[in-house]
Structure 1
Amino acid sequence: MQPQTITSQSGFQAPSEKRWKVWWNLLRPHTLTAAFVPVFIGTALALYETGIDWPMFLAMLIASLLIQAATNMINEYYDFKKGLDNEHSVGIGGAIVRHGVKPQTVLQLAFIFFGIATLLGVYICMNSTWWLAAIGTACMAAGYFYTGGPYPIAYTPFGEIVAGFFMGFVIILISFYIQTGTVSSTSMLISIPISILVGAILLANNIRDIVGDKENGRKTVAILVGRKNAITLLAAMFIISYTLIVLFIALDYASVWSLLVFLSIVKPLSAIKGFSSNKSNVTMMPAMVATAQTNTIFGFLLGIGLVIGYFVS
């Protein structure tokens, strides 16, 4: 029996996949750890101050995952609308161009996710402070305007900074605050390496897409500094992140168990080697994946180290 095909928006005939897999890939699940990790770390830090309010933790985690997923969908929608995506594009995206999902459906689903995240945000605010409503709204606005609106953030040199700030610094501090009712210098410092590694994911993506982005008028950091310097910058971001953990331990801002993050060191090394030795979009994909895995494994091990440090101290 011949596999069925689905006609995409461009008329491209693509083999059908299980529908659940199409929708699952639309969420870009490999990026969702960028939402889980900061919530986990912010909550782990709160252990040192108070007991954990698990309903608040779950509300924050689900809201963060929904905002990240919605941001991915908006990115898919606008990349299609602006002609950046086609059936031959490299990456996990492609619900619109390869699987025939209607663009408006993708956008509507993104706003539904934002709506559910807002309801969860109301619950969080009712049990903490309504000032978080403004911060949550800013997070969703950043998610939308990253690729949406007349002046998308992704088209500027500020994409890495914005993503790192909101997906690292802000989420860690909110996760810490809703448990403790305060923000500490430790929580701010610990958020820095995570923010850097979230930004590294975007930089890796922009290194991979440097040719296509340049053709479409983007002015990313990778384009402005050039491929070689962008890879050097990525390596520097990795080095700074690991070095900061050692510094925080030396200054007693983190448990010695935080050294567990060095178990992930193979991933950034693989990423830099991959980008340095490959130049095509396809062959650079493993390096980009390794960069995302660096954030995931580094963040998870840091959180584990913080939890172990609390229980053995």
Structure 2
Amino acid sequence: MATVAQWVEGARPRTLPNAIAPVVAGTGAAASGGGFHALPAVLALLVAMGMVIGVNFANDYSDGIRGTDDDRVGPMRLVGSRAASPGAVRRAAFASLGIGALAGLALLAVSGAWWLLIVGAVCLAGAWFYTGGSSPYGYRGLGEVAVFLFFGPVAVLGTEYTQSGRASGLGIGTAVGVGLLSCAVLVANNLRDVPSDTVAGKRTLAVLLGERDTRVMYAALVVVPLGMSLVLSLRAPWALLGLISLVVIAPALRRVLGGSRGPALIPVLRDTGLALLVWAIGTAVGLALAA
């Protein structure tokens, strides 16, 4: 039976910046137009955290029963390590996704944007079928596309819309930056796992591209948002605060372009997630000051 510490590790807390960053960024975009509201922001955060933890447990379950995690380099997985039964991890996934769904219903009730119920249903399906089902899209090189859409435009603009009732140009630019950095987090994870995923038949985009091109893609994903800070600064000069993230991402970029492999890439996942959070916070503060 898994310990509490193992369950916490299985929830993969290092990925929580992927949940927090879009909400922070979307809230900053809402504040730029004078539309900040605390309750929808808190509910959006609960939705995002429930979804991210839920998809982490769902991936643990689905990859575990397929044997993908039997020879793993990265953080411990509950099913793959035999620390918890597949059924227990599946229930944890459903519970987390359920909490996110309930918070989402509350958010729609507060904002009155019931049409977003369709978007929420798509998000739940995307969370489960990333590695679940008979033909998971995460095994066909489509994970980065889904991450960009769900953590970029959907999460950032959804947060902004439920607070301000609009999706602004500043919000769209911010959504692109958050989406790309969220993709970089996934690429950092998949680059590390290329050898084991290849053996297991998990055809991630990193496996399809190969290590060399994946490293180039990672560099592009972390550099373009820095350029987006410059674009956003044309309307909100303080958006340049997002460039502080360069301090955090530089060591990770050096590791990736320097050819690090296996365990040496584990810090890259941490640093990329932190850079995502720093970029989102800096940009959000800059957009709010523009108001």
TM-score computed with the length of structure 1 as normaliser: 0.87
* In the alignment, structure 1 residue 307 sits paired with structure 2 residue 285: no
Distance, in Å, in 1 between the alignment partners of 2:272 and 2:166 is: 32
Partner of 2:214: 230
Distance across 2 between alignment mates of 1:122 and 1:215: 41
Aligned to 1:109: 92
- Matched residue, 1:270: 251
Name the amino acid aligned to 1:156: R
- 1:279 shift after superposition: 4.4
Match of 2:272 among 272, 285, 291: 291
**Whole-Å separation in 2 of the counterparts to 1:113 and 1:225:** 33
AA aligned opposite 1:115 = G
- Amino-acid identity (%): 27
- What is the CA distance between 1:221 and its match in structure 2? 2.2
The residue aligned with 1:59 is 43
Cα deviation code 1:180-237 (max 9, x no counterpart): 1222222112210111111111111111111111112233222222211111111112
Q: 1:188-267 maps to which residues of 2 (within 5 A)? A: 188-250=172-234, 252=235, 255-267=236-248
Q: TM-score, normalised by structure 2?
A: 0.93
Alignment partner of 1:29 is 2:10: no
Cα distance per residue 1:18-69 (max 9 Å; x no partner): x332221121111111111111111111113334332221111111100110
Q: Which runs of 4+ in 1 moved over 4 A?
A: none
Which range moved further: 300-309 or 123-132? 300-309
Structure 1 counterpart of 2:103, which letter? L
Deviation at 1:147, TM superposition (A): 0.8
Name the CA distance, whole Å, in 1 between partners of 2:26 and 2:150.
13
In terms of Rg, which structure is larger?
A: 1
Higher-RCO chain (CA-CA 8 Å, sequence separation at least 6): 2
Distance 2:52 2:139 in 1: 19
> Contact 1:155/1:219 (CA < 8 Å) preserved in 2?
yes
Secondary structure (helix, strand or coil) at the match of 1:100 reads coil
CA drift at 1:304: 2.4
Q: How much does 1:276 deviate?
A: 3.3
- After alignment, is 233-242 or 297-306 more displaced? 297-306
Root-mean-square deviation (CA, aligned residues, Å) is 1.8
Contact 1:76/1:93 (8 A) holds in 2: no
160, 163, 168: which one aligns with 1:179 = 163
Letter in 2 for 1:55: L
Q: Extract unaligned runs of 5+ from structure 1.
A: 1-5, 7-15
